[in-house]
Chain A
Amino acid sequence: MIKKSISDLLKEHPFFASLPANYIEFIAGCGRNAVYEAGAYLGREGDPADVFFIIRSGLIGIESYAPDEGPITVQTMTAGNVVGWSWIVPPYRWQFDARALETTRVVALDGKCLRAKCEEEPLMGYQLMKAFAAEITGRFRANRLQLLDLYGRAQK
C-alpha cells in the first residue's frame, strides 16, 4: 500500500478544496499524522491551543463539563470536518474538550508553525482564514438551530 503524504491527505480533504496546490504543500510542512483511540483527548478546555485537526476518519465529541451533569457532548465531528480554531485567535486556548469517541485518524497541524507561515505568506493566510470563516459560519448556523430547541416545539 502506498503511504499518502500529508499534502496528499490535505488535498483530498474538503476543508482545503478552495486552496491552490502550492499553498497546501506549504501548509503540509506543519502537519503530521496522528491516531487517537476512543476516549483519548485531542484538546482540553483551557489548555494551550497550538494545534488543530483535519479528521480523516472516526468521530470526535466536542464536550463541556457541567457540574451537575458531568461531561456533555455539544457537537460531534467526523470525516471531512475540522476541529479547533482557537489556534488562530489569542489567547490561543481550547474553549472546549475534544475527545475521540471511536478510533480517529487525523492530520494534526501545528498552529504556531502555521501562524508563522501565514505571516510569511499573507495571501495564503488570507485564503486559509476564508476557509476557516466558512467553517465557523457553518458551525454557528448549526449552533443557532440547536439553540432554537426545534424538536421541543413540534406538534401543537
Chain B
Amino acid sequence: MSRFTGEMLSRAEELVSLYPDPRSATIPLCHLAQEQDGYVTNEAMAHIAELVGSSAAEVQGTASFYDMLKLEPVGRYVIGVCTNIACMLRGAYELLEDAEGVLDVPVGATTADGLFTLEEVECIAHCDRAPAAQVNYRYFGPLDRESFETLVTQLRNGDLDDEVPPHGTLLRVRREAPAVIPMEEIDRYRAQEAEREKASD
C-alpha cells in the first residue's frame, strides 16, 4: 500500500497523461492517494513526485496547503459543519455544539472507533439549506440536533453507503474519452486554420 500499484497505478498514469505538463496532475494524484489509503501518506507523495517529475518536498509543499488533503489518518467519515455567515445566522454554532455532543468528540478529533472525524468548515455553498454540513463532501441540510443524530445513525448502519463513499473517494465517475490530443497536433491544426483564414481574407 501507499505507493500506487495495479489498477491504482494505471489510473495514476492516466491522470498524468491528461495534461500538457505532468505536474498539473499533482493534486488529482493526491486525491487518488487518499482514495487508496484514506489520507496522503509520505510514500504516496514520493511516488507522486516520481510520476509528475518533481520532488517529494514539492509535493508535500503543495499537499499541505489544501484543507481536503489529509496528511494524517482521519475517520471513515469526515463530517464538516459549516459555521460561516449564512449558516451562523441560522444556528450553525448551536449545531456544531450538538455535533460534538452526539459524536462525543471535540472539533478536530476522531471518534474512538475511527468512524467519524468532526471538523468546523467554511462555507460549502449550500447556504440555502443552512445550517449545512458535509460528510465526505456530500451535502446535508438544514440540520438540527435530531436530524444530525439520524444522519450519524444512518452512516453508522451503512444506510448511506451509496451516497457517501469512504473518505478519500471523491469522484466515482471515471473519465471515458479517447487519449487527449497531443499538443503538437493541436498546434498544427491551429496553424493550418490561421493559414486558411489568411488565404480567405
Q: Do A and B come from one complex?
A: no
Name B's A-contacting residues (CB within 8 A). Answer: none
Name A's B-contacting residues (CB within 8 A). Answer: none
